[in-house]
Amino acid sequence: MPAYIITYFGVRGRCETMRMLLADQGQEWKENVVPFDVWMKGDLKATCVFGQLPKFEDGNFTLYQSNAILRYLARAHGLYGKDDKQAALIDMMNDSCEDFRLKYARMIYQDYENGKAKYIEDLPGDLSKFEKILSDNKGGFLVGDQISYADYHLLDLLLIHQVLSPGCVDSFPALKSYAERLSARPKIKAFLESEAHKSRPINGNGKQ
Protein backbone atom coordinates (compact mmCIF):
# COMPACT_ATOMS: atom_id res chain seq x y z
CA MET A 1 0.00 0.00 0.00
CA PRO A 2 1.38 3.45 -0.89
CA ALA A 3 2.58 5.50 2.07
CA TYR A 4 0.84 8.65 0.85
CA ILE A 5 -2.91 9.14 1.23
CA ILE A 6 -4.84 12.16 -0.10
CA THR A 7 -8.23 12.66 1.53
CA TYR A 8 -10.25 15.16 -0.50
CA PHE A 9 -13.47 15.73 -2.43
CA GLY A 10 -13.67 14.07 -5.86
CA VAL A 11 -12.41 17.16 -7.67
CA ARG A 12 -9.14 18.59 -8.97
CA GLY A 13 -9.49 21.70 -6.80
CA ARG A 14 -6.62 22.15 -4.37
CA CYS A 15 -5.15 18.70 -4.95
CA GLU A 16 -4.31 18.45 -8.64
CA THR A 17 -1.01 20.29 -8.10
CA MET A 18 0.18 17.75 -5.52
CA ARG A 19 -1.10 14.91 -7.68
CA MET A 20 0.95 16.17 -10.66
CA LEU A 21 3.97 16.58 -8.41
CA LEU A 22 3.64 13.04 -7.08
CA ALA A 23 3.03 11.56 -10.53
CA ASP A 24 6.02 13.39 -12.02
CA GLN A 25 8.23 12.19 -9.17
CA GLY A 26 7.20 8.59 -9.79
CA GLN A 27 5.35 8.32 -6.48
CA GLU A 28 2.26 6.31 -5.72
CA TRP A 29 -0.55 7.49 -3.50
CA LYS A 30 -3.98 6.41 -2.42
CA GLU A 31 -7.06 8.58 -3.02
CA ASN A 32 -9.57 8.67 -0.20
CA VAL A 33 -12.48 10.42 -1.94
CA VAL A 34 -15.03 12.09 0.33
CA PRO A 35 -18.47 12.56 -1.25
CA PHE A 36 -19.95 15.99 -0.50
CA ASP A 37 -22.98 14.48 1.28
CA VAL A 38 -20.68 12.51 3.58
CA TRP A 39 -18.69 15.67 4.30
CA MET A 40 -21.88 17.60 5.07
CA LYS A 41 -22.67 15.15 7.90
CA GLY A 42 -19.77 16.83 9.71
CA ASP A 43 -18.07 13.87 11.42
CA LEU A 44 -14.90 14.04 9.28
CA LYS A 45 -14.87 17.85 9.39
CA ALA A 46 -14.85 17.68 13.21
CA THR A 47 -11.62 15.63 13.09
CA CYS A 48 -9.80 18.00 10.68
CA VAL A 49 -7.53 20.48 12.47
CA PHE A 50 -8.96 23.48 10.56
CA GLY A 51 -12.27 21.84 9.63
CA GLN A 52 -11.23 21.56 5.97
CA LEU A 53 -9.78 19.23 3.36
CA PRO A 54 -7.37 18.24 1.89
CA LYS A 55 -5.87 15.99 4.51
CA PHE A 56 -2.58 14.33 3.62
CA GLU A 57 -1.01 11.32 5.29
CA ASP A 58 2.51 9.97 4.98
CA GLY A 59 2.38 6.84 7.09
CA ASN A 60 1.36 8.01 10.55
CA PHE A 61 2.22 11.66 9.83
CA THR A 62 -0.82 13.84 9.02
CA LEU A 63 -0.82 17.29 7.40
CA TYR A 64 -3.48 19.83 6.42
CA GLN A 65 -3.22 22.95 4.23
CA SER A 66 -2.53 22.28 0.56
CA ASN A 67 0.50 24.57 0.31
CA ALA A 68 2.12 23.09 3.42
CA ILE A 69 1.61 19.67 1.82
CA LEU A 70 3.31 20.90 -1.37
CA ARG A 71 6.27 22.20 0.61
CA TYR A 72 6.55 18.95 2.58
CA LEU A 73 6.67 17.02 -0.70
CA ALA A 74 9.10 19.56 -2.18
CA ARG A 75 11.56 18.96 0.67
CA ALA A 76 11.17 15.19 0.36
CA HIS A 77 11.68 15.09 -3.40
CA GLY A 78 14.24 17.81 -4.11
CA LEU A 79 11.78 20.37 -5.53
CA TYR A 80 12.87 23.33 -3.41
CA GLY A 81 15.81 24.85 -5.34
CA LYS A 82 19.52 24.56 -4.69
CA ASP A 83 19.93 26.94 -1.74
CA ASP A 84 18.00 29.07 0.78
CA LYS A 85 17.69 32.02 -1.59
CA GLN A 86 16.20 29.89 -4.35
CA ALA A 87 13.88 28.30 -1.77
CA ALA A 88 12.67 31.78 -0.75
CA LEU A 89 12.09 32.74 -4.38
CA ILE A 90 10.19 29.50 -4.96
CA ASP A 91 7.98 30.29 -1.92
CA MET A 92 7.41 33.77 -3.38
CA MET A 93 6.31 32.25 -6.69
CA ASN A 94 4.01 29.80 -4.94
CA ASP A 95 2.46 32.61 -2.88
CA SER A 96 1.62 34.37 -6.14
CA CYS A 97 0.12 31.16 -7.48
CA GLU A 98 -1.97 31.00 -4.30
CA ASP A 99 -3.17 34.60 -4.82
CA PHE A 100 -4.12 33.68 -8.39
CA ARG A 101 -5.92 30.51 -7.22
CA LEU A 102 -7.90 32.39 -4.58
CA LYS A 103 -9.00 34.97 -7.13
CA TYR A 104 -10.10 32.15 -9.45
CA ALA A 105 -11.88 30.25 -6.66
CA ARG A 106 -13.75 33.38 -5.52
CA MET A 107 -15.05 33.86 -9.05
CA ILE A 108 -15.93 30.18 -9.53
CA TYR A 109 -17.68 29.71 -6.18
CA GLN A 110 -19.12 33.17 -5.48
CA ASP A 111 -19.43 35.17 -8.66
CA TYR A 112 -19.48 32.87 -11.70
CA GLU A 113 -22.60 34.21 -13.42
CA ASN A 114 -21.84 37.89 -12.92
CA GLY A 115 -18.07 37.89 -12.62
CA LYS A 116 -16.77 35.46 -15.22
CA ALA A 117 -16.62 37.92 -18.15
CA LYS A 118 -14.77 40.57 -16.12
CA TYR A 119 -12.44 37.91 -14.72
CA ILE A 120 -11.52 36.79 -18.24
CA GLU A 121 -11.10 40.40 -19.34
CA ASP A 122 -8.60 40.96 -16.50
CA LEU A 123 -6.82 37.63 -17.03
CA PRO A 124 -4.02 38.97 -19.29
CA GLY A 125 -2.97 41.25 -16.42
CA ASP A 126 -2.49 38.23 -14.16
CA LEU A 127 -0.84 36.08 -16.82
CA SER A 128 1.56 38.81 -17.96
CA LYS A 129 3.35 38.77 -14.56
CA PHE A 130 4.16 35.09 -14.95
CA GLU A 131 5.01 35.61 -18.63
CA LYS A 132 7.67 38.15 -17.68
CA ILE A 133 9.12 35.92 -14.95
CA LEU A 134 9.40 32.98 -17.34
CA SER A 135 10.82 34.97 -20.22
CA ASP A 136 13.40 36.61 -17.90
CA ASN A 137 14.53 33.29 -16.43
CA LYS A 138 16.43 31.40 -19.08
CA GLY A 139 16.47 28.28 -16.91
CA GLY A 140 13.04 27.23 -18.18
CA PHE A 141 11.30 27.22 -14.79
CA LEU A 142 9.94 29.80 -12.36
CA VAL A 143 13.22 29.72 -10.42
CA GLY A 144 16.61 28.41 -11.55
CA ASP A 145 17.03 25.56 -13.98
CA GLN A 146 15.18 22.75 -12.25
CA ILE A 147 11.54 22.10 -11.55
CA SER A 148 10.16 23.18 -8.16
CA TYR A 149 6.85 22.67 -6.39
CA ALA A 150 5.74 26.13 -7.57
CA ASP A 151 6.04 25.00 -11.20
CA TYR A 152 3.44 22.29 -10.64
CA HIS A 153 1.18 24.92 -9.07
CA LEU A 154 1.53 27.28 -12.01
CA LEU A 155 1.03 24.43 -14.47
CA ASP A 156 -2.26 23.48 -12.80
CA LEU A 157 -3.41 27.11 -12.92
CA LEU A 158 -2.52 27.38 -16.61
CA LEU A 159 -4.40 24.17 -17.39
CA ILE A 160 -7.57 25.19 -15.56
CA HIS A 161 -7.49 28.69 -17.04
CA GLN A 162 -7.29 27.22 -20.53
CA VAL A 163 -10.55 25.43 -19.72
CA LEU A 164 -12.12 28.63 -18.40
CA SER A 165 -10.88 30.70 -21.33
CA PRO A 166 -9.56 28.60 -24.24
CA GLY A 167 -6.60 30.28 -25.95
CA CYS A 168 -5.90 32.56 -22.96
CA VAL A 169 -2.16 31.78 -23.06
CA ASP A 170 -1.83 32.04 -26.84
CA SER A 171 -0.58 35.62 -26.70
CA PHE A 172 2.00 34.73 -24.03
CA PRO A 173 4.75 32.74 -25.79
CA ALA A 174 6.79 31.91 -22.69
CA LEU A 175 3.72 30.70 -20.76
CA LYS A 176 2.43 28.75 -23.73
CA SER A 177 5.68 26.88 -24.35
CA TYR A 178 6.19 26.33 -20.60
CA ALA A 179 2.73 24.75 -20.22
CA GLU A 180 3.33 22.59 -23.29
CA ARG A 181 6.81 21.55 -22.16
CA LEU A 182 5.75 20.62 -18.62
CA SER A 183 2.64 18.81 -19.88
CA ALA A 184 4.88 16.77 -22.18
CA ARG A 185 7.12 15.46 -19.37
CA PRO A 186 6.42 11.74 -19.75
CA LYS A 187 4.97 11.13 -16.27
CA ILE A 188 2.89 14.32 -16.33
CA LYS A 189 1.66 13.44 -19.82
CA ALA A 190 0.60 9.98 -18.62
CA PHE A 191 -1.13 11.55 -15.61
CA LEU A 192 -2.96 14.14 -17.72
CA GLU A 193 -4.12 11.36 -20.05
CA SER A 194 -5.31 9.14 -17.18
CA GLU A 195 -9.03 8.53 -16.62
CA ALA A 196 -8.55 9.50 -12.98
CA HIS A 197 -7.48 13.01 -14.00
CA LYS A 198 -9.82 13.44 -16.96
CA SER A 199 -12.92 12.32 -15.10
CA ARG A 200 -12.35 14.55 -12.06
CA PRO A 201 -14.33 17.79 -12.20
CA ILE A 202 -12.15 20.86 -11.75
CA ASN A 203 -14.35 22.42 -9.08
CA GLY A 204 -16.84 21.28 -6.45
CA ASN A 205 -19.80 23.23 -7.84
CA GLY A 206 -19.52 21.94 -11.43
CA LYS A 207 -18.40 25.33 -12.81
CA GLN A 208 -15.23 25.51 -14.87
Q: Closer to ligand 6SG at the Cβ: 66 or 96?
A: 66
Nearer to ligand 6SG, 67 or 96 (CB): 67
Shortest separation between residue 15's beta carbon and ligand 6SG, angstroms: 9
| Least separation in angstroms between CB 23 and ligand 6SG | 19
Residues that bind ligand 6SG (CB under 6 A): 9, 11, 13-14, 36, 45, 52-54, 65-67, 204-205
The alpha carbons of the chain give a radius of gyration, in whole angstroms, of 17
Cβ-based nearer residue to ligand 6SG, 21 or 169: 21
CB of 203 to ligand 6SG, least distance (A): 6
Q: Is the CB of 136 or the CB of 199 nearer to ligand 6SG?
A: 199
CB of 51 to ligand 6SG, least distance (A): 6
